[in-house]
Amino acid sequence: MPDVVIIVALICVTGMLGIGAAVLLRARDVLERIVALDLLTVVCIALLALLTYLRDVSYYLDAALALAALSFVATLAAVRSDGGGGPFR
């Protein structure tokens, strides 16, 4: 039974990945693109977490944690860069 739930969750997360890609392509403003990329990253993290449970290996979760940390820093740098100042000011 839990495997069925994980498969359904994988299908939902994959659908969200497609919807996030469509939002990214239709975004008009730079801030909308930044948020859409952040959304795609969160969906990829969820996909990696589900794959960790499904395949019972831990390196997918390690990759998800590294992706979360890099995404946080990249989002902050992109927003600061778009705000007029440089990313390191």
Structural domain includes residue 58:
yes
Q: Is residue 85 predicted with pLDDT exceeding 70?
A: no
Position 13 confidence tier, pLDDT thresholds 50, 70, 90? very high
Residue 87 lies in a domain: no
> Is 86 part of any domain?
no
- Is residue 43 included in any domain, yes or no? yes
**pTM for the predicted model, two decimal places:** 0.84
Helices 30-55 and 2-26, packing angle to 10 deg:
160
CA separation, residue 86 to residues 1, 18, 35, 40, 89 (Å): 51, 32, 19, 24, 5
Q: pLDDT by residue (tens digit) across 25-73?
A: 999 988 899 999 999 999 999 999 998 988 889 899 999 999 999 999 9
Q: What is the pLDDT of residue 43?
A: 94
Euclidean distance between CA atoms 30 and 38, whole angstroms? 12
Residue 64 included in any domain: yes
- 87 band by pLDDT with thresholds 50, 70 and 90: low
Q: Which domain holds residue 36?
A: 2-81
In a domain, 88, yes or no: no
**CATH number of the domain residue 28 falls in:** 1.10.287
- 10 Å CB burial of residue 18 (0-12, 13-18, 19+) is exposed
